[in-house]
Structure 1
Amino acid sequence: MTGKQRKEWFDWIKALGIAAVIAIIIRMFLFSPVIVDGPSMLPTLQNGDYLIVNKLSYSMGEPERFDIVVFQATETKKYIKRVIGLPGEHVAYRDDKLYVDEKPIEEPFLKERLDQLGDNQTYTFDFALEDLPGGNQTIPEGYVLVLGDNRNNSTDSRRLGLISKENLIGETQFIIWPPKRIGPVD
């Protein structure tokens, strides 16, 4: 192997090494793929959807109501849910209606589901913040209340309690697979 060939090989190896380091940094600190596993976010997200999670969202800002977030639920499980309650708020559901500090809040992402319900059917069972694990009167600073969009089939704050901001991995912003669903997450 000549000196020129050796230099060319070294340049290629160096370029691939730099690309690998950049990819690792991006995946660890900026963006990460995640796969939806289960029906808890139907109809917004479907089982098997591949999403991009923006990991910078909450290191540079605060969660907002209705953000769809990924959080570390247990040592081995990550969950995808929607932020419903923010620090300092009291949250309650009565008659399929969200109340924040006793004011009704529209949930446009549930409208189609609620319109399909027949009489005497409930989509979100009544509860108040103080009924959840922890028994809080308001959501403490550094925590959020999350629910799945498929309210009858979701392990969320009603069972897990409030979610610490420290456990938030990031905000889902884009569906990258399957092709017919590519686009921003609503």
Structure 2
Amino acid sequence: MKKKHSTLYTVIQFSMILLFALFLRKFVLTPVEVIGISMEPTYHESDRLWQTSLVSPKRFDVATFPSPRDGKRIVKRVVGLPGDTIRMENDQLYINDKKYDEPYLDEFKETLTDGQPLTADFTLASTAAGPATVVPEGKYFVLGDNRRKADDSRYFGFVDKEDIVGVVYFRYYPLNKIGVQ
């Protein structure tokens, strides 16, 4: 009788460990691979990231969601939250008519030598999100950091809150850039 309880106890322990590991993998340590150059210089092609689906994205968080183009998971920066007005003027981001710095773009802007802005002027109404002038409830406006090459909300419109898979919080590859994001 004692052997039977010991085996049952071991099976229950193993099951609990397995369930906990599956929970971590699904919601806390979900791996993501960066595809393309739209998030350079922040992330590069083939960078490996961990994301969590336990938090909602905040302004300037990097989030993942299925591409409206082909359904593949993509990585973009959340710039506009529900109720926001967004515009870019002379390479300066304005949210609700307030200037916002984007320090994650400084390195990229320093390398530009053609005299053109990194980000062309736009308003919500002039993007694929138009004719909206405000980010609607349950939606986000996202931008890639490589603004000249990014396919983002300017071209495919708003991202539904339900489509956000997770928020990036850690890079684990390449090893020389490992760390909390």
Q: Same fold (TM over 0.5)?
A: yes
Aligned equivalents of 1:29, 1:116: Cα separation in 2? 37
TM-score, normalised to structure 1's length? 0.84
**Contact 1:73–1:167 at 8 Å: present in 2 too?**
no
Aligned to 2:141, the other structure's residue is in SS state strand
Residue 65 of structure 1, aligned match among 49, 59, 64: 59
- Structure 2, gaps ≥5 residues long: none
Give the Cα separation in 1 of the matches to 2:44 and 2:66: 20
Identity %, equivalent residues: 36
Match of 2:54 among 53, 56, 60: 56
CA distance in 2, matches of 1:76, 1:102: 33
**Range with bigger deviation, 14-23 or 75-84:** 14-23
Q: Note if 1:159 corresponds to 2:148.
A: no
2:48–2:174 Cα contact (<8 Å) kept:
yes
* One of 165, 173, 176 as aligned partner of 2:169: 173
TM-score (ref. length: structure 2): 0.86
Aligned residue in 2 for 1:78: 73
- CA distance in structure 2 between the aligned counterparts of 1:119 and 1:33, rounded to whole angstroms: 37
1-side partners of 2:23 and 2:107: how far apart?
40
- 2:34 maps to what in 1? 36
**2: CA distance between counterparts of 1:134 and 1:112?**
28
Could you tell me whether the CA contact under 8 Å between 2:129 and 2:156 is conserved in 1? no
Cα distance per residue 1:11-68 (max 9 Å; x no partner): 766554433322222222333111111111111112111111011012xxxx322111
> Considering only aligned residues, what root-mean-square deviation do their CA atoms show, in Å?
2.3
SS in 1 for 2:165: strand
Against the structure 1 CA distance between its residues 104 and 23, is the aligned structure 2 distance closer, same or farther, given a 3 Å change threshold?
Answer: same
Indicate the residue corresponding to 2:123 in structure 1. Answer: 128
CA distance in 2, matches of 1:39, 1:9: 52
Kept in 2, the 8 Å contact 1:97–1:104? The answer is: yes
The correspondence for 1:45, drawn from 43, 46, 52, is 43
Change (3 A) 1:123 1:142: same
- Structure 1 unaligned segments of length 5 or more: list them: none
| Match of residue 96 from structure 2 | 101
Equivalent position SS for 1:98: strand
Q: How many residues align?
A: 179
